[in-house]
Amino acid sequence: MNDISRDELVKKVARDPVHWLAFGFGSGLLPGAPGTWGSLVAVLLFLVIPPLPPLALLLICVPLFVVGIWICGESAKRIGVHDHGGIVWDEIVGMLLVLAFVLPEPLWIAAAFGLFRLFDIWKPWPIRQLDHSLSGGLGIMLDDALAAGYAALILIVLQRFMPGI
């Protein structure tokens, strides 16, 4: 089942709520870079939900992360591909984590998006090692949480020393 066709995958995602969530409401099926599409879903959610204090957004991310371990692991198991590129729940939660640390202004949101995507793709130490050593949903979710941590640290420093931007 590792060689699942795109048509078959689209049908599975459309029929199964687990896949629908794991694939970011279908965004993971969009052409190109699915992780980028999933990250954009998080930005859209951030922009349409009522403004929340950073701590509230972080507290929301905790159950999303925990549930994501099961959702992503189960979706990967059902399609027979560990961390299929279309599974983007991890990017959605990771991007929301980063957004909890930025001012809700276009420049900071764009910077959060760019830095998160950079660290999610680059996977600097120890992200790459964890990504290769952990299997299942925890492995899928944890590398994005760590990428979010790297991005958030840089954004915190930038906002501290460049508040007028």
Is 85 a domain residue?
yes
Whether cis (ω within 30° of 0) applies to the bond prior to 163 is no
Q: How many Å apart are CA 52 and CA 74, to the nearest integer? A: 30
Is 1 a domain residue?
no
Is 137 a domain residue?
yes
pTM of this prediction? 0.95
**Residue 91: both structure tokens together:** 């990017």
pLDDT, residue 129, reads 87
How many structural domains are present in the chain? 1
For residue range 99-133, list pLDDT tens digits in order: 999 999 999 999 999 999 999 999 999 988 887 88
Query: Which structural domain range is residue 68 located in?
Result: 6-161
pLDDT, residue 165, reads 67
Mean pLDDT of 149-156: 97
Q: How many Å apart are CA 71 and CA 63, to the nearest integer? A: 12
**Residue 123: both structure tokens together:** 């996977």
For residue range 14-66, list pLDDT tens digits in order: 999 999 999 999 999 999 999 999 999 999 999 999 889 999 999 999 999 99
Is 15 a domain residue?
yes
Q: How many Å apart are CA 100 and CA 115, to the nearest integer? A: 14
